Structure 1
Amino acid sequence: MLVSKRNLNNTELPNNIYAEKMILGAIILNPNLIYNIIDKIKPNFFFKLEHVLIYSTIISLYNNNKNITLINLINELEKKKILKKAGGIKSIYKLTYKVINNNNFEEYAYLVLDKYFRRRLIEIGTLISELGYNKFISLEIIVRQTEDYFLELTKDQYNNYLTFSALLENLVINFNNKLYSHYISGISSGFKDFDSMTQGFQKSDLIILASRPSMGKTSLSLNIAHNIASYNNKAVAIFSLEMPKSQLVYRMLATSMNVSMRKIKAGRLNKKEWRIAKSAIESLSKLNIYIYDEANLSPVQLKSKIFSLIQKDKDISFIIVDYLQLLKSDNTKENRSQELSTITRSIKIIARDFNIPIMVLSQLSRNVELRNNKRPILADLRESGCLEKNTLVKAPKQQLDIRIRYLNILNYSRTIYCKNKNNRIIKTGIKKIYTTGKKGIYQLVTETGYYIKLTSNHKIQTLNGWKRLDEILITDQIMTIKKTTAKQNLNYLIYTFGFSIKFETIESIYFIDYDSAYDIVIKLYHNLIGNNIIIHNSIEQDADMVCMIYRDEYYNAQTLEPNTAEILIVKQRNGPIGSFKLNFNLQSTKFSDMN
């Protein structure tokens, strides 16, 4: 909010007090109108402080499922001790004196929005001017802050005002396009089966392309970038955190020529291949592809660079980031699983803010190599590990321990216990539970006989923070809980819900066998109590689409499908999951449609 109601020239800032009054009065008389603006107008959009307080209180009533009435509004303001600041009872009553036609309600909402954005523009101008005069702030920080200001301001705030009839009209146009052409709603990947399953890459989507090393994920992403830039005539940005840009250019040239990259680097090309190279270079030079090869990018820095690029080229339509595990987190206090979850969520927000699909490449966990069937699954993308099927989870409602594989049964509560940041035991909800197939299971046993069965990459709370099982030493102490009374609590850390927390030394860790494993996603704090031990939960994937690459010939020299890559779509919010196959030339790293 602005500190002053006037600008530097002592001119009153843009506002429309009448429109503000009409909106508030209309909502008090017809509470259903709140649905029209609850997601569009925030309290600070109002100019007059009294109106900010009144609208904030109306939203508070709405969020707490209370009726929005004149009496409830006045009582709530009085309860918050802000009734006088809000203008008093008489002033609030006056808001209801003028009745407006409901059809005009959104027009008044638009006027409030218009004046707010004008004030915000003036405020941003002042802030940028102050930054420019500050000699102690580097130019890089000033430019980044300026970009953030204008990114916030240039978001399309009016898209939500499309009428239902306009939306239906757009829908009919889409139907006609699909009826009379091979129309796809998103950006074509250049691969027929890929587009058939996904309808192309949709705006604001986060796409994860994952595989084990040497499967060809970078090559496939470059193939897609080439196809988008050439077939769709779109601009593509590639952020490479691993390979230098020269290496990527060599790869794209090799793919275009269908010749080994080693042969190109060595310059061992015959006359025909030199002619092909010349033609390929001419074609590639016409493509609108930007490559950045800076390492150690964070989501904030990535967002800033994308913003700068879009200011330069409005045709940027697809972004590739190679790869997820090399991005650094803006929050260094999180463990790596939480960091990756935060990073993917941040990139999803970036995709939504710019309304551009972003493809992020990712390494799969080593669990793939431990299975007989090397075909990857969604759980391989997570670094948080899995729990053995009979792990006991404490459920408050039943007052008993429930095996994790039974938690999906409807009769059981979806509420369990976890610990908060202050190491207190609290109740939390389960977002998701699912089986991840057979995994290599290890058993950890404590000095008092507590034990837990889990995969080697699952994290456990130790005295020195969260550690993967395969990183834990016998000398480490892990966090356990015990049912106690308040009188018995003297030797324990904290007592809540009848549970005390205590650190115990480890007796042994050893491999058991391959067995069914489960992942569980918790709503708060990313942990749970399993077999009386504090363990990490799974991190839910924020991507709209997750694709994985599998090449059987990498593991099996006698494969029946040489030069073939299977693309598995293991998650898709708005479409089917499944798989399709592409031809793959290992020498030139070129992917192409089958047949």
Structure 2
Amino acid sequence: MSEYRWPIEKLNDILQPIRETDLIIIGSRPSQGKTTLMLNMAHRFARDGIKTAYITLERSTLELKERFISRHFRDYYDAENLRRELNEIPLFFFDLRDWAIDEVAYEIEEEKESLNFDVCFVDYLQLICEREGEVDWFKELALLLDIPIILGSQMKRTVLDNPGNFPQEKDFHDGEEITACADTIIMLHHERSYDDNAPKEELRVIVSRDRGKPVNRETVLNFDWEKAMLMEEKQESIPR
């Protein structure tokens, strides 16, 4: 079975390598960096030559690309270079807004046969229409196609009732299904969203499940929130 190192080095400190049949859930409350992290990961995978599909269920492909480009460039030439790079690296965007789960699954299967991509991102779960058993659909699809699927998921407002507003598995929409199907569960926490005095650049990454087993690990990524991009990683992983 093929394995992939995580494209963000600090995640390799707290997570085992990604297997080709893994279903990975990345969850957070809105505006906590879920799409931004997934886009950065997809870009890094493709830049390293790993064929990567990115399914958008919220924005058009053009909007998603331009959002990524506009927040990364320093001047016109940087923007053009990044735009050209996105057209050259094996990063494939698909706009499946307003599609039902069976249509989304069928399209991923069809595009996998055509493009033979290695990793698939889906952004995000709750935007799928006519939802029923959709987490199980994605796990079955990962097994069928022999690809890891990284699936974004919103979390409920119950996060706000937790100590320090830290997300927990119980706060997921479709929580029981996610716990039953997911190989890896990652939750994001941007403390600055709740405390104006918290460090603005920190994105806390909490892992509650890895290789199907409960774990209790976390690390902190340095994020430039204005540019929506990862900064140089300096901090060490922290125990929890």
Query: Is TM > 0.5 for Structure 1 vs Structure 2?
Result: yes
Asked whether the 8 Å contact 1:208–1:545 carries over to 2, the reply is yes
Determine whether 1:241 maps to 2:42. no
**What is residue 556 of structure 1 aligned with on the other side?**
195
Asked whether the 8 Å contact 1:219–1:590 carries over to 2, the reply is yes
Asked whether the 8 Å contact 1:299–1:347 carries over to 2, the reply is no
For CA contacts below 8 A with separation 6 or more, give which structure has more relative contact order: 2
**What is residue 378 of structure 1 aligned with on the other side?**
169
State the AA in 2 paired with 1:570: S
Asked whether the 8 Å contact 1:254–1:589 carries over to 2, the reply is no
**What is residue 35 of structure 2 aligned with on the other side?**
218
Determine whether 1:288 maps to 2:105. no
Aligned partners of 1:580, 1:217: CA distance in 2, in Å?
15
Alignment of 1:503-542 (within 5 A): 539=177, 540-542=179-181
Q: 1:285-322: CA deviations, max 9, x gaps?
A: 211111111223233212221222122212x0111111
Asked whether the 8 Å contact 1:321–1:361 carries over to 2, the reply is yes
**What is residue 318 of structure 1 aligned with on the other side?**
119
Q: Unaligned stretches of 5+ in structure 2?
A: 235-240
> What is the aligned-residue identity percentage?
23
Structure number with greater Rg is 1
Asked whether the 8 Å contact 1:584–1:592 carries over to 2, the reply is yes
**What is residue 579 of structure 1 aligned with on the other side?**
218
Q: Unaligned stretches of 5+ in structure 1?
A: 1-169, 171-184, 260-272, 331-338, 385-537
Q: 1:121-167: CA deviations, max 9, x gaps?
A: xxxxxxxxxxxxxxxxxxxxxxxxxxxxxxxxxxxxxxxxxxxxxxx
Question: What is the aligned residue count?
Answer: 232
State the AA in 1 paired with 2:66: Y
State the AA in 1 paired with 2:202: T
Asked whether the 8 Å contact 1:546–1:571 carries over to 2, the reply is yes
Alignment of 1:410-559 (within 5 A): 539=177, 540-559=179-198
Asked whether the 8 Å contact 2:72–2:228 carries over to 1, the reply is no
- SS of 1:541's equivalent in the other structure is helix
- SS of 2:181's equivalent in the other structure is coil
Alignment of 1:153-302 (within 5 A): 186-231=3-48, 233-257=49-73, 273-302=75-104
CA 1:376 to 1:572, structure 2 compared with 1: closer, same or farther past 3 Å?
same
Asked whether the 8 Å contact 1:207–1:359 carries over to 2, the reply is yes
Taking structure 1 as the reference length, the TM-score comes to 0.37
Matching residue within 349, 356, 361 for 2:147: 356
What is the RMSD of the two structures over their aligned residues, measured on CA atoms?
2.1
Taking structure 2 as the reference length, the TM-score comes to 0.88
Q: 1:439-473: CA deviations, max 9, x gaps?
A: xxxxxxxxxxxxxxxxxxxxxxxxxxxxxxxxxxx
**What is residue 228 of structure 2 aligned with on the other side?**
589
Aligned partners of 1:544, 1:568: CA distance in 2, in Å?
15
Aligned partners of 1:304, 1:285: CA distance in 2, in Å?
25
